[in-house]
């Protein structure tokens, strides 16, 4: 099979991951994209600003506002005021949201582990993750 163009390959990988991960997250009624947002918010020790979540997710604040609104409708996140900036709000997981993350994390990790049993080792996956992070950093640095 011929080697893929970098951008086409990354888009294809994102589409494939979304399609293959959907059943893992469907049990909890969330999409892979919603899982990504929940995991970012869940990793934070304190409520995060919408702009902060958007920065981590590499999307616009407007896009994040819509994502958070859908997660609020599902009862997984909640917004509160920001005492330092009255125009801003902070978002955090609800008790139900934290429960969903805790419930899905083992299934997600098991799915990742199953990939590492095939042609790709755990070390290969870690190397890929580091390469993806470096590529993101390089592209972001180029924007400045």
Determine, yes or no, domain membership for 133: yes
Q: Taking Cα atoms as reference points, which of 121, 30, 116 lies closest to residue 75?
A: 30
Cβ atoms of 28 and 107 within 8 Å: the answer is no
The CATH number linked to 40 is 1.10.10.10
Determine, yes or no, domain membership for 1: no
Q: Between residues 27 and 49, which one has the greater pLDDT? A: 49
Determine, yes or no, domain membership for 134: yes
Determine, yes or no, domain membership for 32: yes
Q: Write down the pLDDT at residue 55.
A: 92
pLDDT averaged over the chain? Answer: 87
Q: Write down the pLDDT at residue 86.
A: 62
Determine, yes or no, domain membership for 136: yes
Determine, yes or no, domain membership for 51: yes
Grouping H, G, I as helix, E, B as strand and the rest as coil, residue 87 is strand
58 pLDDT above the threshold of 80: yes
Q: Write down the pLDDT at residue 116.
A: 67
Cβ atoms of 25 and 59 within 8 Å: the answer is no
Determine, yes or no, domain membership for 25: yes
Tell me the C-alpha distance between 92 and 140, whole Å: 26
If one counts the domains in the chain, the total is: 1
Between strands 77-82 and 85-93, the pairing is antiparallel
The whole domain housing 87 covers 6-143
Tell me the C-alpha distance between 31 and 34, whole Å: 5
Best-predicted range by mean pLDDT among 4-13, 26-35, 92-101? 92-101
110 pLDDT above the threshold of 90: no
Torsional sign, CA 83, 86, 91, 95:
positive
Determine, yes or no, domain membership for 41: yes
């Amino acid at each position: 099979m011929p080697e893929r163009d970098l951008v086409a390959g990354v888009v294809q990988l994102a589409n494939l991951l979304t399609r293959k991960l959907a059943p893992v997250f469907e049990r909890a009624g969330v999409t892979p994209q919603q899982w990504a947002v929940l995991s970012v918010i869940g990793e934070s020790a304190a409520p995060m600003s919408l702009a902060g979540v958007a920065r981590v997710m590499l999307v616009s604040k407007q896009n994040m506002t819509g994502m958070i609104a859908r997660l609020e409708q599902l009862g997984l996140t909640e917004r509160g005021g920001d005492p330092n900036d009255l125009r801003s709000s902070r978002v955090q997981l609800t008790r139900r949201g934290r429960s969903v993350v805790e419930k899905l994390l083992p299934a997600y990790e098991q799915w990742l582990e199953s990939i590492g049993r095939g042609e790709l080792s755990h070390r290969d996956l870690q190397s890929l993750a580091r390469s993806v992070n470096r590529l993101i950093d390089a592209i972001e640095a180029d924007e400045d």
